Amino acid sequence: MLLHTEAMRRLCRLYLQTKLANPHYKPEIAAQTTLVNFCVTEVGLEEQLLAQVVDHERPDLQEQARSLVRQLGEYTITLKELEDNLLQRLANSQVPSVASHLPAVCPWCLTKT
């Protein structure tokens, strides 16, 4: 009987479809399933089609767009690091006045004249 149920488990597949954007299942169900999100928006398809057309017609522009996206990601990471650094410096500071925090908040402001 055990072999029969193991064989049935390997052969049996159940596919469920829902219109919910983010369905929630019980943890015991979610642990045994694979959720595939096939949500496609018109805007997303337009962006993909435009990227393919630009890549075909002007590969240099498409490479420039990829470079800008990478650069934006790097800038976002740098901004987050600077914000964290600023918050840490302000939290560790013993001075109560906001004006006295100017070197911590804007270290390059003092160098500009």
**pLDDT at position 104:** 59
pLDDT digits (tens, 9 = 90+) for 26-55: 888 777 777 777 777 888 889 889 989 998
Confirm whether 83 is domain-assigned.
yes
| Domain count of the fold of the chain | 1
Confirm whether 15 is domain-assigned.
yes
Range of 89's domain? 2-93
Confirm whether 100 is domain-assigned.
no
- Residues 6 or more apart whose Cβ sits within 8 Å of residue 29: none
Q: How far apart are the C-alpha atoms of 63 and 55, rounded to whole Å?
A: 8
Please say if the pLDDT value at position 17 is more than 50: yes
> Could you tell me the end-to-end alpha-carbon distance of the chain, in angstroms, rounded to an integer?
85
Please name which of 39, 38, 40, 65 lies closest in space to residue 51, comparing C-alpha atoms. Answer: 65
Confirm whether 29 is domain-assigned.
yes
Confirm whether 52 is domain-assigned.
yes
* Two structure tokens written together for 66: 């990829």
Please indicate whether residue 89 or residue 10 has the higher confidence score (pLDDT).
Answer: 89
Q: What is the mean pLDDT of the chain?
A: 78
pLDDT digits (tens, 9 = 90+) for 65-76: 889 989 999 999
Confirm whether 69 is domain-assigned.
yes
Confirm whether 17 is domain-assigned.
yes
Q: What angle do CA 17, 18, 22 make, to 5 degrees?
A: 125
* Two structure tokens written together for 108: 């390059």
Please say if the pLDDT value at position 113 is more than 50: no
Confirm whether 64 is domain-assigned.
yes
Please indicate whether residue 50 or residue 108 has the higher confidence score (pLDDT).
Answer: 50
DSSP string, 25-37: --HHHHTT-----
